[in-house]
């Protein structure tokens, strides 16, 4: 096998924060409650575990929890992807569900890292 022709794909996601909610009237950044961020980390881990174990009821519950937490944390992209994944749990397209779950984890981790970076800059 000729490894010079090997291609490695590294997906990148652009994430967005709901700036209208994240910034108050004076222009100061509102900090997202740390418990919401911690809960989202736990839920994202639960989603990965439920997917790996094939526990679709637990997966759907965790997806709904992440969607709610993402909305509270001003992360519309995370909420949208969680809702897409939740809709796919009712079907039989496991490949599409796997792709969207992987995207949710990727977008969720990037979004949380961005929130933490903003939080550290304001401290």
CATH number at residue 103: 1.20.120
Tokens of residue 63, six digits: 């997806």
* Residue partners of 55: CB distance under 8 A and separation at least 6: 49
Structural domain contains residue 102? yes
Average pLDDT in the 80-99 region? 92
**What Å distances lie between residue 81 and 3, 67, 75, 101, 120, CA to CA?**
35, 8, 10, 8, 26
Structural domain contains residue 55? yes
> What is the domain extent for residue 91?
34-122
pTM of the complete model: 0.78
Average pLDDT in the 19-34 region? 58
Structural domain contains residue 8? no
Helix (H) or strand (E) holding 98: helix 94-122
Angle, CA 48 vertex, CA 42 and CA 53 arms, to 5°:
120
Structural domain contains residue 13? no
What's the mean per-residue pLDDT of the chain? 82
Q: What's the domain count of the chain?
A: 1
Average pLDDT in the 90-94 region? 86
**Range from 7-16, 19-28, 46-55 carrying the lowest mean pLDDT:** 19-28
Helix (H) or strand (E) holding 6: none
């Amino acid at each position: 096998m000729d490894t010079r022709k090997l291609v490695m794909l590294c997906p990148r996601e652009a994430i967005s924060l709901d700036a209208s909610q994240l910034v108050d009237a004076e222009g100061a950044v509102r900090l997202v409650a740390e418990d919401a961020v911690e809960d989202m980390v736990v839920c994202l881990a639960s989603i990965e575990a439920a997917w790996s174990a094939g526990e679709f009821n637990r997966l759907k519950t965790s997806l709904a929890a992440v969607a709610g937490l993402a909305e509270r944390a001003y992360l519309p992209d995370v909420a949208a992807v969680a809702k897409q994944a939740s809709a796919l749990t009712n079907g039989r397209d496991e490949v599409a569900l796997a792709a969207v779950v992987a995207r949710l984890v990727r977008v969720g981790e990037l979004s949380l890292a961005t929130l933490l970076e903003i939080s550290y800059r304001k401290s």
